[in-house]
């Protein structure tokens, strides 16, 4: 259990059997009045938000959350299967949880998975992945500016903007948090 | 943190020094005397929801109220103090566990008189600091020269919270409604004064002669920020003793320390204190509002 005084931005709490993250927090105390802890909460399962005000004596449930390392194993229909190297346990992560990150997975990629009551609810990939560009307009010789971009695509169909000097066959680093080009890793 | 309009700390401390000088000048020009009272006290004022920080076998003061009223009972006419106060567990955008309070008392005055003085003080400080009385805080325009809104707690609850004060108190929703529905509506365009509090929320204030369930207390708001609290002081020793006893019982019931009664203060009241009004104003918050600082940490030299 948490007390109201434990509340702060980033704390994860449980309300009515669902995990919520505190995204905004403010301590209030109107003149000579009760302490109030005003929070904006984000539902960690469904993504919705709500405002909630806690009082000094409120007791707040702690969600059963743990984050563990897994390796990407294989795709099974709409599920992505990850394996815990130590326990050989498999977990199934849905396409919805992965979102665009499905484009960045590769065999044996090491990921961190957040489990709520032993069910995966969020996944963190390595910050950068290297991928080859399979389709883009020809590069412009000598143009190394990075503020002008053009469209490019990976072999799996993921599209992103890259600088003009990047050519088909080049390997680039992509920031998995944003899905954006970071730098060129090697030339074709 | 909003850094817009917030100069670097070196500049902010120079502005703060000017603000302190302007406050002192205001009171010196009115022949008030500046006093210093103990910071470490045996018996902090009993308040339902204010907790004192222990200091050895005593406490750090949560306000200088009881000692300053003893000075008034001893015959002073107009005194002020600027100094640190400490409140345990209070930390947030508008709260710092150690903060600077301006507190002053005037004999022969009531809460309406001290409101007039507060109006003059705030206007004079703003003019000295900003060169004028119109500014913006958090995107909200405020003109200190405009007529200040004076609205009773009962009217504010009816108008802004569509609620009745007595039932809000019974259901323990008073403070939540105040924070969520009322405070954001106060001090927009011009300062607001929330006045005439339920008697149970003003343990050290006199009740209104014609309305014994209402206390002569007000709070000043500018752009939604609570800046000052004032009373017509309760001078009846018997009544004060009863109120402190209720407060101590409430604190024990809610699992908080019931501080010892300050018998020297009680003796001073019994010996007789003239009619007096007092006001406590948060200097850090006044700084915030006048400089556009979003967080109290932006206007102090060191944030805890």
Convert A61-93 to b/e letters by CB count within 10 Å (16 or more is b): eebeeeebebebbeeeeebbebbeeeeeeebeb
Question: Taking all residues of chain B, what is their mean pLDDT, rounded to a whole number?
Answer: 95
Mean pLDDT calculated for residue range B288-295: 96
A57/B175 Cβ within 8 A:
no
Same domain for A48 and A88?
A: no
Sign of CA dihedral B137, B141, B147, B150: negative
The confidence score (pLDDT) of residue A47 equals 86
The pLDDT of residue B6 is above 60: no
The confidence score (pLDDT) of residue B9 equals 75
Q: pLDDT tens digits, residue range B132-161?
A: 999 999 999 999 999 999 999 999 999 999
Question: In chain A, which among 32-51 make CB contacts under 8 A with chain B?
Answer: 32-36, 38
The confidence score (pLDDT) of residue A144 equals 61
**Bigger pLDDT: A142 vs B116:** B116
The confidence score (pLDDT) of residue B5 equals 47
Q: pLDDT tens digits, residue range A54-112?
A: 998 899 999 999 999 999 999 998 899 999 988 889 999 999 899 899 999 999 999 99
The pLDDT of residue B284 is above 90: yes
Q: Which two tokens stand for residue B104?
A: 């002053």
Report the percent of chain A where pLDDT is more than 90.
79
Q: Quick one: pLDDT band at residue B31, thresholds 50, 70, 90?
A: very high
Nearest CB to B89 within list A5, A33, A55: A5
Closest of A121, A117, A118 to residue A89, by C-alpha:
A118
Please tell me the total count of domains within chain A: 3
The confidence score (pLDDT) of residue A143 equals 58
A34/B93 Cβ within 8 A:
no
The confidence score (pLDDT) of residue A140 equals 64
Backbone angles phi, psi at B31, to 5 degrees: 60, 25
The pLDDT of residue B291 is above 70: yes
Q: Are A62 and A13 in contact (CB under 8 A)?
A: yes
Question: Taking all residues of chain A, what is their mean pLDDT, rounded to a whole number?
Answer: 91
Beta bridge partners of B164: none
- Per DSSP, B182 falls in state I
Q: Quick one: pLDDT band at residue B173, thresholds 50, 70, 90?
A: very high
Nearest CB to A27 within list B95, B229, B254: B95
The confidence score (pLDDT) of residue B3 equals 47
Q: Are B107 and B77 in contact (CB under 8 A)?
A: yes
Q: Which CATH superfamily is domain B9-299 in?
A: Bira Bifunctional Protein; Domain 2 (3.30.930.10)
- Per DSSP, B180 falls in state I
3-state helix, strand, coil in chain B (%, to 5): 40, 25, 35
Q: In whole angstroms, how far apart are CA A16 and each of A7, A63, A80, A118, B19? A: 17, 10, 29, 18, 49
Q: How many CB pairs under 8 A join A and B?
A: 53
- Our CA-based measurement puts residue B49 at a distance from the nearest CA of chain A, in whole angstroms, of 6
Q: Are B133 and B144 in contact (CB under 8 A)?
A: yes
> Looking at A87, A108, A124, which one is the last position of a domain?
A124
- Per DSSP, A125 falls in state -
ipTM value for the complex: 0.84
Mean pLDDT calculated for residue range B186-210: 96
Report the percent of chain A where pLDDT is more than 70.
95
Count of helices and strands (H, E) across chain B: 9, 14
The pLDDT of residue B57 is above 70: yes
Q: Are A29 and B90 in contact (CB under 8 A)?
A: yes
A29/B49 Cβ within 8 A:
yes
Mean pLDDT calculated for residue range B200-220: 95
CATH number of the domain bearing residue A170? 2.40.50.140
Mean pLDDT calculated for residue range B153-182: 96
Q: Quick one: pLDDT band at residue A146, thresholds 50, 70, 90?
A: low
| B127 inside 8 A of chain A by CB | no
| B219 inside 8 A of chain A by CB | yes
Q: How many other C-beta atoms are found inside a 10 Å radius of the C-beta of residue B74?
A: 10
The pLDDT of residue B85 is above 80: yes
Q: Are B2 and B294 in contact (CB under 8 A)?
A: yes
The pLDDT of residue A52 is above 50: yes
> Looking at A36, A60, A84, which one is the last position of a domain?
A60
> Looking at A45, A60, A75, which one is the last position of a domain?
A60
| A59 inside 8 A of chain B by CB | no
Mean pLDDT calculated for residue range B90-114: 97
Q: Which two tokens stand for residue B153?
A: 């707690």
For A168, residues 6+ apart whose C-beta sits below 8 A from its C-beta are A133, A134, A135, A136, A188
Same domain for A106 and A136?
A: no
The confidence score (pLDDT) of residue B288 equals 97
CB contacts of A53 in chain B (<8 Å) are 176, 179-180
Same domain for A50 and A79?
A: no
The pLDDT of residue B45 is above 50: yes
Q: Quick one: pLDDT band at residue A141, thresholds 50, 70, 90?
A: low
Give the best-scoring range by mean pLDDT among A29-38, A157-166, B262-271. Answer: B262-271
Backbone angles phi, psi at B297, to 5 degrees: -60, -20
3-state secondary structure of B176: helix
Range of the domain at A138: 128-186
Q: Quick one: pLDDT band at residue A142, thresholds 50, 70, 90?
A: low
List alpha helices for chain A, DSSP H. 95-98
Q: In whole angstroms, how far apart are CA B240 and each of A105, B69, B112, B220, B251? A: 71, 13, 21, 24, 16
């Amino acid at each position: 259990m948490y007390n109201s005084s434990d509340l702060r931005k980033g704390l994860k709490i449980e309300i009515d059997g669902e995990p919520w993250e505190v995204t905004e927090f403010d301590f209030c105390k109107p003149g000579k009045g009760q302490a109030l802890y005003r929070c904006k909460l984000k539902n960690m399962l469904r993504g919705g938000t709500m405002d909630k005000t806690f009082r000094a004596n409120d007791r707040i449930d702690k969600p059963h959350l743990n984050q563990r390392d897994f390796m990407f194993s294989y795709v099974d229909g709409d599920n992505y299967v990850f394996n815990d190297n130590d326990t050989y346990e498999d977990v199934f992560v849905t396409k919805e949880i992965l979102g665009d990150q499905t484009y960045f997975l590769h065999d044996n990629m090491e990921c961190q998975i957040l489990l709520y009551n032993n069910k995966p609810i969020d996944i963190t990939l390595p910050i950068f992945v290297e991928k080859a560009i399979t389709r883009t307009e020809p590069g412009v010789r000598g143009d190394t500016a990075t503020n002008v971009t053009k469209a490019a695509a990976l072999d799996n169909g993921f599209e992103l903007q890259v600088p003009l000097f990047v050519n088909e066959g080049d390997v680039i680093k992509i920031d998995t948090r944003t899905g954006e080009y970071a730098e060129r890793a090697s030339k074709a | 943190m909003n850094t817009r309009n917030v100069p670097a700390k070196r500049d902010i401390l120079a502005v703060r020094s000017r603000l302190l000088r302007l406050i002192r000048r205001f009171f010196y020009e009115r022949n008030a005397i500046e006093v210093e009272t103990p910071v470490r006290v045996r018996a902090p004022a009993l308040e339902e929801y204010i907790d004192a920080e222990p200091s050895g076998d005593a406490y750090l003061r949560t306000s200088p109220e009881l000692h300053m009223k003893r000075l008034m009972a001893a015959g002073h006419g107009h005194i002020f103090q600027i100094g640190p106060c400490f409140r345990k567990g209070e930390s947030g955008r508008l709260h710092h566990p150690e903060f600077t309070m301006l507190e002053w008392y005037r004999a022969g005055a009531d809460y309406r008189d001290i409101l007039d003085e507060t109006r003059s003080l705030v206007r004079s400080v703003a003019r000295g600091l900003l060169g004028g009385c119109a500014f913006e805080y958090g995107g909200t325009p405020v003109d200190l020269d405009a007529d200040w809104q004076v609205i009773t707690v009962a009217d504010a609850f009816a108008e802004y919270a569509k609620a009745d004060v007595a039932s809000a108190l019974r259901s323990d929703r008073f403070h939540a409604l105040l924070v969520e529905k009322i405070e954001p509506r106060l001090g927009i365009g011009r300062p607001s004064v929330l006045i005439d509090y339920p008697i149970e929320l003003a343990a050290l204030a006199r009740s209104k002669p014609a309305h014994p369930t209402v206390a002569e207390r007000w709070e000043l708001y500018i752009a939604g920020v609570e800046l000052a609290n004032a009373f017509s002081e309760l001078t009846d020793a018997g009544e004060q003793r009863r109120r402190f006893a209720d407060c101590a019982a409430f604190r024990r019931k809610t699992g908080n320390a019931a501080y010892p009664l300050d018998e020297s203060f009680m003796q001073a009241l019994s010996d007789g204190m003239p009619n007096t009004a007092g006001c406590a104003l948060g200097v850090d918050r006044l700084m915030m509002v006048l400089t556009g600082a979003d967080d109290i940490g932006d206007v102090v030299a060191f944030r805890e």
